[in-house]
Amino acid sequence: MIGLRFHFCFLVLCASLILPTQCLAHTCLPEDHVALFIFGDSLFDAGNNNYINTSTDYQANVWPYGKTFFKYPTGRPSDGRLIPDFIAEYAKLPLTPPYLHPGYHRYTDGANFASSGAGALDETRRGWVIDLNTQLKYFKNMETLLKRKLGEAQTKKLLSRAVYLFDIGNNDYLAPFATNSSLLLSYSHEEYVDMVIGNLTNVIKEIHKKGGRKFGFLSLAPLGFLPYTKALIPEKSEEITALVKRHNKALSHALQILASQLEGFKYSYTNLCSLLTERMNNPSKYGFKEGKMGCCGTGPYRGIPSCGGKRSLKEYELCGNASEYLFFDAAHPSERANQQLANLLWNGNLDVTWPHNLKALFENKYSEIN
């Protein structure tokens, strides 16, 4: 018995020497631990909208969502995992549940604040979604809880080592056309884009004040060519595309400015628009049989969002194999597409993501553009 006890203690001692940890109360974190905090819209929403008073138009908690991987609907608007789920896997983190999930409080690994339908502007689908400023408020609430658990110094260390992943803005440009809102009509395209970028920039600066240093961003998707747009508002495709181009250019420029202004600011920017457009136009090159039609929905391109039969239109069609489709429903990639995109975010070269990929941010290995 003494020999066994000595052997066990020796193993624990060796483990502690190999993997240094921060042990506080009941929480032990490796010294190189990097958390993942997720902000954004439906491309990243792991199910936060399950827990708010909203319309079924902004929820994905019905079958067949989740059918491929989880085998039940989690609230993710896809047949399986989303981009952040794969990024967490590559970073050796557990899948990040929605922040509003009542049973999840392990914020030392990160948190997902994203909300389907959300925009950078408070006015985008106000009252139905968790806008970006409210997501920031939730982040600050979480920081307070972490300070109680870890103490102020260790919380700041955790937040400074973390990666902050953003996908936001898509709904700011789609919603005004989809809902006949007059918001966009009140501004020039340039003024409107400046407002969206300005709101996002303010949130980034607030997170930076809390210690955040490493950020990942996606450009807008090719919104003018989604199955949703082509089915419901094809006459607006050209105007939406012009806004997407203006936004993506402005975001890239804004990030360069932030890198010159904010101490320690490192970022990864991935052109989602070009990656999806390439797959829409050449699906077979990437292993898809269909690049322009949704797997689940109805109407032209299955672009009318009826998947699951719980929205205003109850009838829907479902393809036989979601992995053969670039899009699972009217606007969201399939799990297979999400995995391909996540791989490019994680270890893509400078043709895909710049000035760093996410792997470099997690590993603190930076290679600057010459």
Active site residues: 42, 329, 332
| Cβ neighbour number for residue 265 with a 10 Å cutoff | 17
Residue 296 near residue 317, CB atoms below 8 Å: yes
| DSSP bridge pairs for 37 | 111, 164
Q: How many CA atoms lie within 13 A of 227 on its CB side?
A: 28
CA distance 223 to 168: 13
**H-run or E-run covering 301:** none
Q: Which two tokens stand for residue 298?
A: 């109805």
Residue position matching structure tokens 């000035």? 355
Alpha helices by DSSP H, the chain: 2-18, 83-90, 132-150, 152-161, 170-178, 189-209, 227-232, 237-261, 272-281, 335-347, 358-363
| DSSP bridge pairs for 298 | 304
CA distance 294 to 225: 12
Residue 4 near residue 12, CB atoms below 8 Å: no
**What does the DSSP 8-state code read for residue 234?**
G
